[in-house]
Amino acid sequence: MTRRLPVLLACALLALFPRPAPAADAGAIPMPGEIDPATLWERVLAGGDAAKIYGGYELVDRLWPVDGELDAEACSGARDDLDGHLRTNPVGIALWWLSLRCAEAMGDAARADRDSEALAALLRHALKDARMPSLLDRPIPVLAQYDADAIVEVSGQTRLYSYYDSSRTGRHLPLVVALWDEAARREHILVFDFLAPMVRLQRMEIAGSPAFRFLLSRDLLTAAEDGEDSAIGIGRAIRRILFETPQAERAEALRKAGEQELTGVVLEVAGACLEAARDTCAEAAVDVLMPLAERRLAACDAASGKFGRAVQRQAEVVALLKQAGADEGQIERFRERLRLYQRGEVLIEGRD
């Protein structure tokens, strides 16, 4: 099973649900840019065939570069398949990115120009409102984690960490990705979601229920075989600590996550502990957040989004930091990070 997206699991789940027989692919590819991406998204979600759409990501899984290297021979045999999947799913960013990479590898300038323009239109649409903290409530919609991975590849930035935020239940299963922009010396946080589009593709009334969303997100996390330090593995750990671990044992589980440097677990579990001010859990939260803050991983500002979206409860956090032994310099850096967080950016002076 792929480390980026449980593609086969998604297909297996979707195959359980009745749907009309798929129509044969024919005609021109709907081109993002020539057609408004928002219009294309609505067409796909309202009338798309889930099995065919996710079948396209199985092709993405086979073609995805290994250690940055693309298999040009595999590309040459997949051109028609790529075009067929682009007809079915013209908003699949990973499909367009791979089609572009394959065209470049094969020296097909006309196809590369076509794919580049379509990809640029989709990226503009995806990232036009991609600023924190609004992304916490309105993550960037994607149809698969591969789409998020393609955006990361195009950005040219370094992935610092990523995880599925399973601390909340609702419409989304947020994929949080922290990127380092070396030129700007700045960390950017993006939040993606493929759960809401996946649910929308179902043609059953029950698909819109909270119980269906919860069970689907749970199964997507628990059935995957990804390691503990993967985005999915961290999502499993967050859910386990917050929803399955007895409260008396939560602090120890959080400290262990801090020792293992599982950033996503620390951010979400510590944020939940501080939000609820859960006795020893809150104390442990401060203990594990401070080392992360010292390593400049935007821990404090990300956690602050969990209790009042930042400054409203700043005084309470500062008190906890003082109680944990933080000096005035550390506290002032925390205040500055909160100000940056409110503006939607995290400025980092340097990295170790």
DSSP letter for each residue of 259-309: HTT-HHHHHHHHHHHHHHT-HHHHHHHHHHHHHHHHTTSSHHHHHHTTSST
Q: What is the band of 102 on the pLDDT scale with cuts at 50, 70, 90?
A: very high
- Other beta carbons within 10 Å of 215: 12
pLDDT at 296 over 70: no
What pLDDT is recorded for position 1?
Answer: 38
Do residues 102 and 62 lie in contact, with contact meaning Cβ atoms separated by under 8 Å? no
Flag whether 120 is in a domain: yes
| Domain termination residue (choose one: 212, 227, 257) | 212
Pairing state between β 175-181 and 158-164: antiparallel
What pLDDT is recorded for position 277?
Answer: 54
Token pair of 105, please? 């590898």
* Coil/strand/helix, residue 319: helix
User: What is the Cα–Cα distance from 246 to 226, expressed in whole angstroms?
Assistant: 25
Q: What is the band of 232 on the pLDDT scale with cuts at 50, 70, 90?
A: confident
What pLDDT is recorded for position 31?
Answer: 96
Q: Is the dihedral of CA 156, 143, 164, 62 positive or negative?
A: negative
Q: What is the mean pLDDT of residues 224-239?
A: 80
Q: How far is CA 137 from the centre of its chain?
A: 13
82 and 186 share a domain? yes
pLDDT at 130 over 80: no
DSSP letter for each residue of 224-236: ----TTSHHHHHH
15 and 151 share a domain? yes
Flag whether 218 is in a domain: no
DSSP letter for each residue of 50-117: HHHHHHHHHHHHHHSPBTTB--HHHHHTTHHHHHHHHHH-TT-HHHHHHHHHHHHHTT-HHHHHHHHH
Q: What is the band of 226 on the pLDDT scale with cuts at 50, 70, 90?
A: low
- Other beta carbons within 10 Å of 138: 13
User: What is the Cα–Cα distance from 186 to 178, expressed in whole angstroms?
Assistant: 10
What pLDDT is recorded for position 336?
Answer: 58
pLDDT at 24 over 60: no
Distances, alpha carbon 265 to alpha carbons 5, 229, 261, 304, 312, in Å: 19, 10, 9, 15, 24
347 — phi, psi (to 5°)?
A: -90, 130
For residue range 150-173, list pLDDT tens digits in order: 999 999 998 888 888 888 777 888
57 and 198 share a domain? yes
253 and 206 share a domain? no
Flag whether 343 is in a domain: yes
| Domain termination residue (choose one: 191, 212, 233) | 212
Flag whether 305 is in a domain: yes
205 and 302 share a domain? no
Flag whether 185 is in a domain: yes
Do residues 61 and 7 lie in contact, with contact meaning Cβ atoms separated by under 8 Å? yes
* Coil/strand/helix, residue 158: strand
Q: Provide the Cα torsion 113, 95, 124, 300; round to 10°.
A: -140
110 and 172 share a domain? yes
Q: What is the mean pLDDT of residues 189-214?
A: 85
Q: What is the band of 308 on the pLDDT scale with cuts at 50, 70, 90?
A: very low
80 and 165 share a domain? yes
196 and 277 share a domain? no
Flag whether 87 is in a domain: yes
Q: What is the mean pLDDT of the chain?
A: 77
Q: What is the band of 120 on the pLDDT scale with cuts at 50, 70, 90?
A: very high
Q: What is the mean pLDDT of residues 175-191?
A: 82
Q: What is the band of 93 on the pLDDT scale with cuts at 50, 70, 90?
A: very high
What pLDDT is recorded for position 330?
Answer: 59
111 and 182 share a domain? yes
Look up the domain containing 47 and give its range: 7-212
Pairing state between β 175-181 and 186-193: antiparallel
What pLDDT is recorded for position 302?
Answer: 43
**Cα atoms found within 13 Å of the Cα of residue 326, Cβ hemisphere only:** 26
Q: What is the band of 202 on the pLDDT scale with cuts at 50, 70, 90?
A: confident
73 and 156 share a domain? yes
Express as a percent the part of the chain with pLDDT over 90. 31
Flag whether 335 is in a domain: yes
Whether cis (ω within 30° of 0) applies to the bond prior to 174 is no
55 and 158 share a domain? yes
Q: Which of 143 and 261 is assigned the larger pLDDT?
A: 143
Out of 74-78, 116-120, 126-130, 183-187, pick the least confident.
Answer: 183-187
Q: What is the mean pLDDT of residues 317-336?
A: 61
Q: Which of 214 and 225 is assigned the larger pLDDT?
A: 214
AA identity, residue 5: L
> What b/e string do you get for 153-191 counting C-beta neighbours within 10 Å, with b at 16 or more?
bebebeebbbbbbbbbeebbbbbbbbbbeeeeeebbbbb
Q: Which residues contact 236 (CB under 8 A, 6 or more apart)?
A: 166, 221, 222
What pLDDT is recorded for position 152?
Answer: 94
Q: What is the number of domains present in the chain?
A: 2
Q: What is the mean pLDDT of residues 196-221?
A: 82
Q: What is the band of 132 on the pLDDT scale with cuts at 50, 70, 90?
A: low
Q: What is the band of 129 on the pLDDT scale with cuts at 50, 70, 90?
A: confident
274 and 158 share a domain? no
Q: What is the band of 225 on the pLDDT scale with cuts at 50, 70, 90?
A: low
The segment with the largest mean pLDDT, out of 6-20, 138-152, 209-223, 254-268, is 138-152
Flag whether 34 is in a domain: yes
